[in-house]
Amino acid sequence: MADAVMSATPNSPRLQQQIAALAAISEAPAPVVTRVLFSEADLRGRAFVKKLCREAGLTLREDAVGNLFARWEGKNPRLPAVATGSHIDAIPNAGAYDGVVGVLGGLEAIRSLKEAGIEPERSIELIVFTAEEPTRFGIGCLGSRLLSGTLSEDRVAALRDRDGHPLDYWRGRAGFAGSLSGVALARDGYSAFVELHIEQGPCLEQENLAIGIVEKIAAPATLTLELTGVGGHAGAVLMPGRQDALLAGAEIALSVEQSALNSGSPDTVGTTGVFRIEPGAVNSIPCRARLEIDLRDTQIDTRDATLSRIEAAIKSICERRKIEFKLERLNVDAPAICDSGIVEMISHACAELGLKHRKMISRAYHDSLFMAQVCPTSMIFIPCRGGVSHRPDEYSSPEQIRDGVEVLTRTLAQLAGRA
């Protein structure tokens, strides 16, 4: 089998052509890629990927939230399968590579193993996760959270988009129905999960490395905050005693920055990524504001202490400014520790291919954060230009992508070959 695996090389032009074709499926003109969960572009993107999977001879299954599983049956189909994959949804004003490299690169890895005539012991599955990005419902990794069984049906039922629509509304439009209780995976459902992804940071490029091997994924938390003050005429209401929801929000956003800066950990990052006000008229005092706050750290204790400090600041700012507030912890996740055996396997594949590599932490979250709760998991990172991501100018070269796919191919072959 070893010789056959060596001959399993990705078809880089084919993969590049497919990445470009998927990038063209967007809610916004090129080079912007926007594919928000269950938008028309997301559905067309899913149809495109399903067509490629069928052409590759894979068997498709979708669950009630739209997670897609494309299976290559192994010689011993009763053994738990090995899985790879990522997401194709893209935040507004994104680029072509976040998530997509793991989906189309994962498919290319499977295709190249098939084309090399390899017959794995274990089945290999490509998973395309629903809504890794939090755009529609504010919560990231919706599909993989449900697969890991860590998101209750009650919490899902409470999710609303900015127009007040629940997930069921969007599931119905996308053609997915049925109870979400069946989405959670059995703990022995997969023997391993490996996700290929762009680094989304500058380290690999700066250190001239081809591959990063993820040992730990930082712990994310999201707060949602509704502020209600008192609106009024911008000319007629004098300054003393105003209850301006925007100004409370502005102070809160600054306190998020200060809390993260002063957490005692250089790894704490805090972002107020959503700040919407009503009524949004230049001559009207803002009466309402909605903020969504993203807080992360590699250490759960400093993350949690910072979270508590931010919550205390929200309370005191709102009391002082006489603003009513509704604060919710949308998600407070633990970090994921990756499987040391898979990390070593990836490291071995890099050494065989002569690729410079090192172990690293993922500061972005990924579906792997939740797959790590289901089975042994790790990630393969490739460099991206300038560390840029979540922007239209996000870029990894064909060679960088091919290197990542080759490492993935060998890792999958080894994981699937051991009966």
Give the footprint of ligand GLV on this chain (CB under 6 A): 133, 140, 364-365
CB of 100 to Mn ion, least distance (A): 9
Pick between residue 133 and residue 244 the one whose CB is nearest to ligand GLV: 133
CB of 220 to ligand GLV, least distance (A): 7
Q: Are 198 and 389 in contact (CB under 8 A)?
A: yes
CB of 87 to ligand GLV, least distance (A): 9
Pick between residue 212 and residue 417 the one whose CB is nearest to ligand GLV: 212
Q: Is 300 helix (H, G, I), strand (E, B) or coil?
A: helix
CB of 22 to Mn ion, least distance (A): 14
Pick between residue 247 and residue 364 the one whose CB is nearest to ligand GLV: 364
Pick between residue 41 and residue 317 the one whose CB is nearest to Mn ion: 41
Q: Are 142 and 65 in contact (CB under 8 A)?
A: yes
Instruction: Report how far residue 74's alpha carbon sits from residue 119's, in angstroms, rounded to the nearest whole number.
Output: 7
- DSSP conformation letters of 79-147: SPEEEEEEE--EEEEE-S-TTHHHHHHHHHHHHHHHHTT---SS-EEEEEES--S-TTTS-S-HHHHHH
Instruction: Report how far residue 120's alpha carbon sits from residue 318's, in angstroms, rounded to the nearest whole number.
Output: 60
Q: 365 is in the binding site of which of ligand GLV, Mn ion, none (Cβ under 5 to 8 A by kind)?
A: ligand GLV
CB of 81 to Mn ion, least distance (A): 22
Instruction: Choose, by CB under 5 A, the member of 63, 89, 98, 244 that binds Mn ion.
Output: 98
Q: Are 377 and 371 in contact (CB under 8 A)?
A: yes
Cα of 315 vs its chain's centroid, Å:
31
CB of 133 to ligand GLV, least distance (A): 6
Instruction: Report how far residue 36's alpha carbon sits from residue 133's, in angstroms, rounded to the nearest whole number.
Output: 8
CB of 389 to ligand GLV, least distance (A): 8
CB of 200 to ligand GLV, least distance (A): 7
Cβ count within 10 A of residue 177: 9
Pick between residue 146 and residue 350 the one whose CB is nearest to ligand GLV: 146
Counting residues that bind Mn ion (by CB under 5 A) gives 2
Stretch that binds Mn ion, among 45-53, 96-104, 213-221, 302-310 (CB under 5 A): 96-104
Q: Are strands 81-87 and 219-228 parallel, antiparallel or unpaired?
A: unpaired
Stretch that binds Mn ion, among 45-53, 62-70, 97-105, 305-313 (CB under 5 A): 97-105
Pick between residue 250 and residue 300 the one whose CB is nearest to ligand GLV: 300
Q: Are 114 and 56 in contact (CB under 8 A)?
A: yes
Q: Which residues contact 106 (CB under 8 A, 6 or more apart)?
A: 84, 85, 86, 126, 196, 408
Torsion of CA 405, 407, 409, 411, to 10 degrees: -140
Pick between residue 89 and residue 297 the one whose CB is nearest to Mn ion: 89
CB of 366 to Mn ion, least distance (A): 6
Q: Is 260 helix (H, G, I), strand (E, B) or coil?
A: helix
Beta bridge partners of 357: 211
Instruction: Choose, by CB under 5 A, the member of 45, 66, 95, 99 that binds Mn ion.
Output: 99
Beta bridge partners of 382: 198
Pick between residue 170 and residue 365 the one whose CB is nearest to ligand GLV: 365
Pick between residue 129 and residue 176 the one whose CB is nearest to Mn ion: 129
Stretch that binds Mn ion, among 98-106, 217-225, 266-274, 316-324 (CB under 5 A): 98-106
In the structure encoding, which two tokens stand for residue 162, read together? 């900015």
Interface with Mn ion (CB under 5 A): 98-99
